[in-house]
Chain A
Amino acid sequence: MEAAVSTTNAKELWSGGDSPFKVSYGKIMMWYFLISDTFTFAGLLISYGAIRSSQPKHDETNPLSWPDPNHVFNAGPGFHHAPLVFVTFMTFTLILSSVTMVRAVQEGHYMNRAGVLKWMALTILGGLVFVLSQAWEWTHLIHEGMTPSSNPFGAYSFGALFFLITGFHGFHVSVGVLLNSWAFIQTYRGVFDRRGHYEMIEKLGLYWHFVDLVWVYVFLAFYLF
Chain B
Amino acid sequence: MSEIARWTSTRQRPSRPFYPLVLAALVVIAAVVLLRLADPLSTLMRATGAKEAESASFLLWQLSLPRLLAALLAGGAFALAGTVFQAATRNPLASPDLLGVTAGAQAGMLVGLAVPALRPLAGPPLLFAFGLGAAALALVAAGGWRAAPLRLLLAGGACSLLFSSLVTMTLALFEQNIAGVALWSQGALYQPGAQGLKTATLWLIPPIAVLPFLLRPLEALALGDDAARSIGVAVPFTRLLAALAAAALTAAAVAIAGPIGFIGLLAPNLVRALGLYDLKTVAPLAALTGAALLLAADGAVAGTGLSTGLSTTVATALVGTPLLLALVARGRMPAPTSRGDVATGGRTAPFLVVALACALALIALCAFGLAWGEAWLSPARLVDAVSGRDPIAALILDIRAPRIAIAALTGAMLAASGVVLQSVIRNALAGPEIIGVTQGAALVTLTGSLLWPLLGRPGAFGLALSGGLATLGVILAINYRQRFEALRVALTGLALGGLFAALTYTLIVETSAQPARALIWLVGGTYGRSWADALALLPWFVATLPALALLARPLDLLALGDDAAAGLGLPIALIRGLALLLATILASTAVAIVGPIGFVSLLTPHLARLLGFHRHGARLPIAMLLGALLTVTADIVGRAALAPTEIPAGALTALIGAPYFLWLMIRRPATRDDHR
Q: Do A and B interact?
A: no
- Chain A positions within 8 Å of B, measured between CB atoms, are none
- Chain B positions within 8 Å of A, measured between CB atoms, are none
